[in-house]
């Protein structure tokens, strides 16, 4: 222990006063309600458990033998799903006014997590296409095992496929926590509300941002520092942001978006198009377009000359 006097008694007292002020303003009493929010640490354990159950011989324990796979998956899923259930109850109970009976909330949580569990085989099937797309899309990749173990884009899409299902099942907070765990590990920020088709590949990945209402088709490939974002945020008469609304791009099948490109607003990038590096795009483009920084700047100059 340190011999330095940090004034801890006073600090603890002041921090308690701050907490109590915040809670009183929001009519929250932890003595009555107990823990109100899901846990970041617990959701990290759930995320790792689910990923390991999907790919046990690659993301599971190093001493796992093939003959023990089914036993390991069963044990791991049972633990992960029961833990996820507890977290789902916390999310569903938070903000209930008036609160419904605990049993009723738990039954809703059980139904949601049971449905989530039933979708895991299909999630694994789609992830197989993502892993294959990463292998085929990168000449540096030596095997599909390598991309599964080493590529941040693959890890990000594993967690996105899981978090997206939670989002659709009415558990947006759990979904967002899982997405942010992936974001902190990979540098790839995918909102769990984004809809992404199969055979999706993010190469390199650092700095990629994919917004909540983005829709991505099949066979799409994007590179580092790509942003699929909103062009503007609508506000109400009080100046507060209006939540919801389709505000992010639609990317059709077989599109490639190169490093540093920024695509904003509810625009559509037509099937088979290629968007070059560092392009800033706020308008839709037809299928099979080839948009580079040079030809995009020329188009903008032509529009300005016409007064468009």
> Which tens digit of pLDDT belongs to each residue from 87-130?
999 999 987 878 899 999 999 999 999 999 999 999 999 999 99
Mean pLDDT of the chain: 92
Residues of the chain with CATH 1.10.3130.10: 36-186
| Domain 207-308: CATH architecture, name and number where available | 3 Solenoid (2.160)
For a pLDDT cut of 70, what percent of the chain falls above it?
92
- The CATH code of the domain at 36-186 is 1.10.3130.10
pTM for this predicted structure: 0.88
Residues of the chain with CATH 2.160.10.10: 207-308
User: In residues, how long is the chain?
Assistant: 308
Model pLDDT for residues 47-85, shown as the tens digit of each residue: 999 999 999 999 999 999 999 999 999 999 999 999 999
C-alpha–C-alpha distance, residues 265 and 45, integer Å: 35
Q: Does the N-terminal peptide bond of residue 98 adopt cis geometry, omega within 30 degrees of 0? A: yes
Beta bridge partners of 275: 257, 291
- Which residues are CB-neighbours of 141 under 8 A, at least 6 positions away? 134, 135, 147, 151
| DSSP3 helix / strand / coil % (the chain, rounded to 5) | 50, 10, 40
Which of the pair, 246 or 235, is modelled with greater confidence?
246
Strand order in the sheet with 195-196: 195-196, 215-216, 250-251, 268-269
């Amino acid at each position: 222990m340190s011999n330095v006097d940090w004034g801890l008694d006073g600090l603890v007292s002041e921090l308690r006063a701050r907490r109590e002020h915040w809670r009183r303003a929001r009519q929250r009493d932890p003595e009555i309600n107990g823990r109100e929010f899901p846990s970041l640490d617990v959701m990290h354990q759930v995320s790792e458990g689910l990923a390991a159950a999907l790919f046990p011989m690659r993301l599971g324990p190093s001493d796992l033998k093939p003959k023990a796979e089914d036993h390991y998956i069963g044990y791991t899923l049972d633990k992960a799903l029961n833990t996820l259930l507890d977290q789902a109850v916390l999310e569903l109970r938070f903000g209930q006014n008036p609160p419904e009976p605990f049993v009723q909330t738990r039954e809703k949580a059980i139904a949601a997590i049971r449905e989530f569990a039933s979708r895991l085989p299909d999630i694994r099937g789609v992830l197989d296409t993502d892993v294959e797309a990463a292998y085929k899309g990168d000449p540096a990749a030596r095997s599909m095992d390598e991309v599964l173990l080493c590529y941040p884009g693959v890890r990000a899409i594993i967690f996105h496929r899981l978090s997206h299902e939670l989002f659709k099942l009415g558990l947006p907070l759990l979904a967002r926590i899982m997405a942010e765990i992936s974001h902190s590990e990979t540098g790839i920020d995918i909102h769990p509300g984004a809809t992404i088709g199969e055979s999706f590949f993010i190469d390199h990945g650092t700095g990629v941002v994919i917004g909540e209402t983005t829709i991505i088709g099949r066979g799409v490939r994007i590179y580092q520092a790509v942003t699929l974002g909103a062009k503007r945020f609508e506000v109400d008469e009080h100046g507060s942001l209006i939540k919801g609304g389709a505000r992010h791009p639609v990317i059709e099948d077989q599109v490639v978006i190169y490093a540093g490109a920024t695509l904003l607003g509810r625009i559509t990038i037509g099937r088979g198009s290629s968007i070059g590096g560092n392009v800033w795009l706020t308008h839709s483009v037809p299928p099979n377009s080839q948009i580079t920084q040079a030809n995009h700047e020329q188009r903008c100059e032509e529009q300005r000359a016409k007064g468009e």
